Amino acid sequence: MTTLRETDQMDAEKPVSKSRTRRAVLAATAGNMLEWYDLTSYGFFAASISKAFFPAGDPTVSLMIAFGTFGVSYLVRPLGALVLGTYADRVGRKAALLLTIQLMLIGTLLIAVMPTYESIGMAAPVLILLARLLQGFSAGGEFGSATAFLAEQDPGRRGFMASWQFASQGAATLLAATFGTVLSLSLTGAQLDSWGWRIPFIVGLLIGPVGYLIRRHVPETTEFTDVASAGEVAAAPVRQVLRNEKLPVLLMIGALAMSTAVAYVIIYMPTYAHEVLGLPSSAGFIGAAVSGVALTTLTPLVGHLSDRIGRTKMMLIAGIAMILSIYPLFLLLSGSPSLLVMGVVMFILGVLKACYFGALPALMSQAFPTATRSTGLSLSYNIGVMSFGGFAPVVITWMIAATGSHLSPSLYIMAAGALSIASLLAARRFLALR
């Protein structure tokens, strides 16, 4: 397995156009931002969506069904990873990026205009589920294609370039949380439940076309074109990954666990603030926005530092810090719930997450060769997200209902963190990743 230093130095002397770099970042992050903006909006407004499409006698059951639909869409992500990851490795990163953003837009449109259960009965929740499945399939190929596209732009700065993939997730969280704050403060609860929740999805329809146009006008990565010119494009990337790269896939799934758990806890926080802590919904949205600011600004800096001092060292320090601090943070929040405490806790959570996942996309890209990079990235990322993220809100909702403990989110993150630490240590030893 090629080490981090060897791979990054291989093409580091090649000049890289700054304008090309900027366009590549915009092209990759625009689509990823749409994906995360949409799923974050769904999670943020789950309480309103549950009333519109999943009415039940018990509000907790209704909310769990809404979050369950959120999670079910992640079951199809590995299929999207296999199909679209293979497409990116055989046809090109750019072609896959154009396809994924079109599929995501269709799903967003369906959610934005879908009639409620009261209007069309059982067809409403079924069609919402189909829209989420389409988005899940699209998202299954987005991460691998976009991360490979970014990481291959400048081999000497893989950490910095690939970090923009996750920085865009922070920007999406910030944008969705801003809409959530404004809407929750300016609309009544009845207005929010009736039509206000649709506004973020309608705005998402404006992001997608811009991203599509940017992606149409960026060139393919040099690394992929070199592989294609040499006739070394993998004929069956999935078979090659499953046959030769099982260990990297498993270890990258583990490395992703904590980052994914924290991301989906942040998505759950507006519901947690209102339904569990009794705070206004706006407190949860403001807290999520604070995390979004930290993630957007710090993640590229962490990626840049990882190019200098190594990925796993930074991630291990941040991971251990997260495990040690998350329980006290939730203990503080549950004991003294307020907007100020929520903001402080979410800022610390955002900083620690940025310090961990800023280097993660580059680390994952280093684990796979160019010929199968998109497939390997897509498969490991989406199995990890499906396992530790998609069902996190419904699992935490169930944990709180079953145990009565408001500290359940912290226990979930600690368990995922332990797995990530073990996976990083194994990656250092068996894959020589630093």
Gap between the Cα atoms of 113 and 351, Å rounded: 36
pLDDT band per the 50, 70, 90 thresholds, residue 35:
confident
Model's pTM, two decimal places?
0.85
Q: What are phi and psi of 121, to 5 degrees?
A: 70, -140
Q: Is 336 helix (H, G, I), strand (E, B) or coil?
A: coil
φ/ψ bin of 92: left (φ > 0), alpha (ψ from -120 to 50), beta (otherwise)? left
Residue 61 pLDDT > 50 = yes
pLDDT at position 6: 46
**pLDDT per residue over 361-392, tens digit each?**
999 999 999 999 999 999 999 999 888 987 78
Residue 152 pLDDT > 80 = yes
Give the C-alpha distances (Å, rounded to integers) separating 82 from 150, 236, 323, 356, 381: 20, 11, 33, 27, 11
pLDDT at position 243: 92
CA dihedral defined by 233, 363, 157, 2, rounded to 10 degrees?
Answer: -60
Mean of the per-residue pLDDT values of the chain: 88
Gap between the Cα atoms of 62 and 393, Å rounded: 13
Gap between the Cα atoms of 226 and 333, Å rounded: 52
pLDDT at position 7: 43
Largest pairwise CA distance in the chain: 64
Gap between the Cα atoms of 135 and 142, Å rounded: 10
Give the C-alpha distances (Å, rounded to integers) separating 194 from 9, 302, 360: 56, 41, 40
Q: What are phi and psi of 210, to 5 degrees?
A: -65, -45
Contact, 12 vs 158, CB < 8 A?
Answer: no
Residue 291 pLDDT > 80 = yes
